[in-house]
Amino acid sequence: MCQMPCQFSWPYTHYFTQTKNKEKILNKLIVFTGGPGAGKTSVIEQLKTQGFICAPETGRHVIQTQVANHGSALPWNNKQAFRDEMTKEEVGNYRAFNVHQAEVFFDRSIVDVYGYSKLEQLPISDELITHCQTLRYHSQVFIFPPWASIFSNDEERKQDFSEAVATYQQMVDAYHKFGYQLIEVPKMSVEDRVAFILDSVIE
């Protein structure tokens, strides 16, 4: 994994051509990953206030939807059903947001679903692996390291800090498996993290 200091630049317009094994990417699909409680969503919310396009975290959305509808596809009830719902939403998010001509920031991606499956020792389908191989995001992914001093759980995030650390390591392994480069986001204020990310992605 890339260690600090780590700087890179991307051209403002980033295109991948369509191939047999990859869907066409028309823009910069920028992913944030890591364990729970590491500050990803706070950065996403700050980016929204600055007018950037942001895709929501599917895990929380699935939990909120299942609770509202008295469903059972919840990580504390049925992990495999929860994973399958996340898969559907991640695929839908990818295709819905892969139409913009500007940066789109993703709070996790389909690769996180693979990492979650490994973490929870769930069976992994060929379909999920194919999604990870063909639904391609930008090759450089921002990873948020475990940070005990800001970690907290809630009604939707029930993991403890040790589980957050284990999740982080699974995401490192998953993104490397599918050929992504990880850029570690420093432990600093939300505003400084946003500045670090924007300095990296915009020339």
The string of pLDDT tens digits covering residues 167-185 is 999 999 999 999 999 999 9
- Report the predicted TM-score, pTM, of the whole model to 2 decimal places: 0.84
pLDDT tens-place string over residues 182-197: 999 999 999 999 999 9
Task: Average the pLDDT over each of 15-24, 27-36, 52-61 and give the range with the smallest value.
Answer: 15-24
Q: What is the DSSP letter of 156?
A: S
Six token digits for residue 80 = 């495999």
With DSSP H G I counted as helix, E B as strand and the rest as coil, what are the percentages for the chain, rounded to 5? Answer: 45, 10, 45
What pLDDT is recorded for position 201?
A: 82
Do 189 and 59 form a contact (C-beta atoms < 8 A)?
A: no
Q: What mean pLDDT do residues 86-97 have? A: 96
pLDDT above 70 for 154:
no
Position 61, amino acid? H
Q: To 10 degrees, what angle do helices 79-97 and 126-134 make?
A: 30
41-68 pLDDT tens trace: 999 999 999 999 999 899 999 999 999 9
> Quick count: other Cβ atoms within 10 Å of Cβ 165?
17
Whole-number pLDDT of residue 2: 40
Is pLDDT above 90 for 120?
yes
Give the residue among 86, 87, 66 at the shortest CA–CA distance from 77. Answer: 66
20-34, 72-86, 166-180, 185-199: the lowest-pLDDT one = 20-34
- Domains of the chain are 29-201 (3.40.50.300)
As to burial, measured by CB atoms within 10 angstroms (0-12 exposed, 13-18 middle, 19+ buried), residue 38 is buried
Handedness of CA 21, 28, 168, 4 (dihedral sign): positive
